[in-house]
Amino acid sequence: MKARIIGLDDWLQTPPGRYLLAWEQACFDQTVTDIFGYHALQLGLTGLNGLHNNRIAHRWLALEQAQAPGPGSPPDDRPEPPKSQPRARAAFITDFTALPFPATSLDLVALPHTLELSTNPHAALREIERVLVPEGRVILSGFNPYSLWGFRQKRARLYRRLGWDDFYLPATSELITFRRLRDWLHLLSFEIESEHFGVYQPAVRSAQRLEQLRWFDAAGARWWPIFGAVYFIVAIKRVRGLTLLPVQWKRKPARATAPVTAARHLRHSQWSAHL
């Protein structure tokens, strides 16, 4: 049987997708509340509104043309924000590695599973570093390959060669390890402000089984915290500047001592002899 390719937005409508979406939405809502500035951007993923709880006035949701919500897409059932907090404006960008924003123009960028869906994730992250202001923040989430869900996905890729459709996560996702992403951030002069993992249930498809195994979340956070199905990272763009040295105002000026030339010393000796 030919493998069925399912996108991330479609996968979020499945029971494990809704469970993961609830956890990630709570993380974004809690994180962006106290982030201020003038301009904020979310790249990709219509099913999750990472800027919903943020109070920055100018906000955009940038989507690729293929990610545009169709007429059959589920409605956004989140409550309407107050008038002082309008919804993010949608924009369509053909290439996330070449954003139509000037350098150092954005204060906050949200990347919910954006890098693992990108054909060139490192170039996309480098473009984020370009458009962020100094001390600006980037928030990332992604699937953890070293988890029960990640191991299930690796097995599915082996079965795919035999024509079996056993994908648990979206087949279009290329999982990026947490260590690799952290190295990219350090290479681009980002400082990680916070990092944590979540969703420790086994890879089951039933909503009832996910609820029965909810106790895995508490156990996993305590006993195997780095093996959650998803990671959540907040990083700050740091810019190295010049260090100003204090001026020593009370330092006494050094006296200049000019050396006496041999010719001048000789004339002085001859004049002394005539005396």
Decide if pLDDT at 80 tops 50.
no
Mean pLDDT of 119-141: 95
Backbone angles phi, psi at 37, to 5 degrees: 160, -155
Q: In this predicted structure, what is the pLDDT of residue 2?
A: 40
Decide if pLDDT at 119 tops 90.
no
Q: How far is CA 60 from the centre of its chain?
A: 16
Decide if pLDDT at 253 tops 70.
no
Range of weakest confidence among 8-22, 100-114, 238-252: 238-252
Q: Determine how β-strand 190-198 pairs with β-strand 230-237.
A: antiparallel
Mean pLDDT of 110-119: 92
Q: Compute the distance between CA of residue 108 and CA of residue 128 in angstroms, rounded to an integer.
A: 10
Length of the chain, in residues = 275
DSSP assigned state of 202: -
pTM higher than the cut 0.85 = no
Tens of pLDDT, residue by residue over 87-96, are 567 667 778 8
Delimit the domains of the chain by residue range: 8-72+80-237
Q: Which residue has the higher pLDDT, 165 or 224?
A: 224
Mean pLDDT of 228-253: 76
Q: Which residue has the higher pLDDT, 170 or 231?
A: 231
Range of weakest confidence among 49-63, 87-101, 137-151, 184-198: 87-101
Q: Compute the distance between CA of residue 188 and CA of residue 94 in angstroms, rounded to an integer.
A: 24
> How would residue 10 be classed by pLDDT, with cut points 50, 70 and 90?
confident
Q: Which residue has the higher pLDDT, 206 or 274?
A: 206
The candidate with the shortest Cα–Cα distance to 27, out of 138, 136, 139, is: 139
CATH class assigned to 8-72+80-237 = alpha beta
Q: Which residue has the higher pLDDT, 117 or 69?
A: 117
Q: Which two tokens stand for residue 56?
A: 């920055």
